Amino acid sequence: MTVRPLLDDREARPYAAIPITASFSRWGEVNALVPEMFTWLAAGGLSPAGPPFYRYWVAGDREREFRLEVGVPVAEPVEGDGRVIPGTIPAGRYLVAVHTGHPDRLAGTIKEVDAWAAENGVRFDTGVEDGVEVWRGRFDFWLTDPAESPDPETWSTELAYLTRSPTAQA
Residue 65 has pLDDT above 70, yes or no: yes
* Distance from C-alpha of 165 to C-alpha of 73, rounded to nearest angstrom: 24
- Mean pLDDT value across residues 67-85: 97
Q: 13: how many CB neighbours lie within 10 A of its CB?
A: 16
Name the band, by pLDDT with cuts 50, 70 and 90, for residue 146: very high
| 21 touches 67 (CB < 8 A) | yes
Residue 1 has pLDDT above 60, yes or no: no
Superfamily, domain 6-169: Regulatory factor, effector binding domain (3.20.80.10)
Name the band, by pLDDT with cuts 50, 70 and 90, for residue 2: low
pLDDT value, residue 61: 83
pLDDT value, residue 3: 64
* Distance from C-alpha of 40 to C-alpha of 56, rounded to nearest angstrom: 21
* Distance from C-alpha of 13 to C-alpha of 99, rounded to nearest angstrom: 22
- Mean pLDDT value across residues 80-91: 97
How confident is the prediction for the chain on average, in pLDDT? 94
DSSP conformational letter for 64:
S
Name the band, by pLDDT with cuts 50, 70 and 90, for residue 86: very high
- Mean pLDDT value across residues 102-114: 94
- Mean pLDDT value across residues 94-100: 97
Task: Determine how β-strand 66-73 pairs with β-strand 138-142.
Answer: unpaired
pTM: 0.94
